[in-house]
Structure 1
Amino acid sequence: MDKSMIIGMVAGAAAVTAIGGVAGYKVLHPEPKFAEVVNVHAVKEKIRTPHQVCKDEAVTHRAPVKDENRIAGTAIGAVLGGVLGNQVGGGTGKTVATVAGAAAGGYAGNRVQQNMQNSDQRTEIKTRCKTEYESHEKTLGYDVTYRLGDKQGTVRMDHNPGQRIPVENGQLILTPPVTSAPA
């Protein structure tokens, strides 16, 4: 036999033995189809959503005053007081009573107009709004601790995988299983 033929037969036998050994290993130690889920922790974010809350309120305020110095009340009071004072007494007493009546009437008219202005109020309905916040939680994903064979790891997933994660060619399948819609 020639030397190259012997080398070829030895190489071929070695290759067959190696392939058979790997195949035998895979038969004796099959690749796991699932990773065992050890822990699942939901990762959440708190979200505050603003919204307007409005309500109608009665607002009362003093009506605008046209005669700040109360001249009309003073004048009307003075005239009425003078007329009443003129009815009292006679001679110079009548004149004094008229002047005193006009002074007292002017003062009284001023105060009456002031009280009327202070009690003249307007009420209107105003809408008052304020911002309030509503809080809720949004799940961002799930931190999943798993065991695959004798190794343990952690991965973030967009869904809760349940008790196990499918494995294909030694890699975790992280997408959720597709469910068909009922017919």
Structure 2
Amino acid sequence: MNKSLLVGAVLGAVGVTAGGAVATYSLVGGGPDYAEVLAVQPVNETIKTPRQECKDVAVTRQRPVQDQHRVVGTAIGAIAGGLLGNQVGGGSGKKIATVAGAVGGGYAGNQVQGSMQSRDTYTTTETRCKTVQDASEKLVGYDVKYQLNGKVDQVRMDHDPGSRIPLNKQGQLILVKQDTVAQ
């Protein structure tokens, strides 16, 4: 075999290998270093916290009735009505007036005692409580719309990335916030 033919073959093989390496490098590592951010939307969550809200209120109550059948009022009314009826007329008319006065007075006494009992009230203060919900907003992340290699997509991030999202060497998004060290 000719020496120059051998040198040419070796140099050709080296050239093809180098060309393939450059082409592979430009395909893998030659892409963009970042994705372009198109829109950022903060995502909030509503937090509801229950708490007790209490206030003092005036409450009016009726006192307990000791004479539910209103016997005392009926009896006093009947006696008073009977005495008044006895003052009217004479003979058997006096007896009828006394009985009628006693019946009317008994009824009137019963009604007066009932009215007095219904107005016999007292007022106390009671504490009334109810559960209310306090609402607050908590930022849980950001929905980020981005464009990479002509394709539009969306991802949720824990921080606002600004105008660009960096990519790693494999062309994937770096979603964790990178700390910048001062140089």
Matched, 1:118 2:118: yes
Q: Aligned pair count?
A: 176
| One-letter code aligned to 1:164 | R
- The superposition leaves residues 1-60 of structure 1 with CA deviations (integer Å, 9 ceiling, x where unpaired) of 79xxx599468625762476359859xx85533322122223344444444433333232
Please show how residues 24-173 of structure 1 align to structure 2 within 5 Å: 25=26, 30-86=30-86, 95=95, 98-169=98-169, 170-173=171-174
**Percent identity between the aligned chains?**
50
The 2-side partners of 1:88 and 1:24 are apart by: 132
What is the deviation of 1:95?
A: 5.0
**Deviation larger for 156-165 or 33-42:** 33-42
Classify 1:88/1:36 alpha carbon distance in 2 versus 1 (closer, same or farther; 3 Å).
Answer: same
Classify 1:179/1:117 alpha carbon distance in 2 versus 1 (closer, same or farther; 3 Å).
Answer: farther
Instruction: Name the structure 2 match of 1:177.
Output: 178
What is the deviation of 1:162?
A: 0.8
| One-letter code aligned to 2:56 | D
The 2-side partners of 1:78 and 1:164 are apart by: 101
Classify 1:43/1:71 alpha carbon distance in 2 versus 1 (closer, same or farther; 3 Å).
Answer: same
What is the deviation of 1:117?
A: 1.1
The 2-side partners of 1:91 and 1:23 are apart by: 140
Classify 1:113/1:15 alpha carbon distance in 2 versus 1 (closer, same or farther; 3 Å).
Answer: same
**Deviation larger for 148-157 or 158-167:** 148-157
What is the deviation of 1:73?
A: 0.9
TM (norm. structure 1) is: 0.68
What is the deviation of 1:103?
A: 3.2
What is the deviation of 1:175?
A: 0.9
What value does the CA root-mean-square deviation take over the aligned residues?
3.9
TM (norm. structure 2) is: 0.68
The 2-side partners of 1:17 and 1:54 are apart by: 82
SS of residue in 1 equivalent to 2:140: strand
The 1-side partners of 2:63 and 2:180 are apart by: 72
The 1-side partners of 2:167 and 2:60 are apart by: 74
SS of residue in 1 equivalent to 2:65: coil
| One-letter code aligned to 1:107 | Y
Classify 1:101/1:145 alpha carbon distance in 2 versus 1 (closer, same or farther; 3 Å).
Answer: closer
What is the deviation of 1:144?
A: 1.6
The 1-side partners of 2:98 and 2:15 are apart by: 145
The 2-side partners of 1:176 and 1:105 are apart by: 95
The 2-side partners of 1:127 and 1:84 are apart by: 52
The 1-side partners of 2:25 and 2:62 are apart by: 100
What is the deviation of 1:118?
A: 1.6
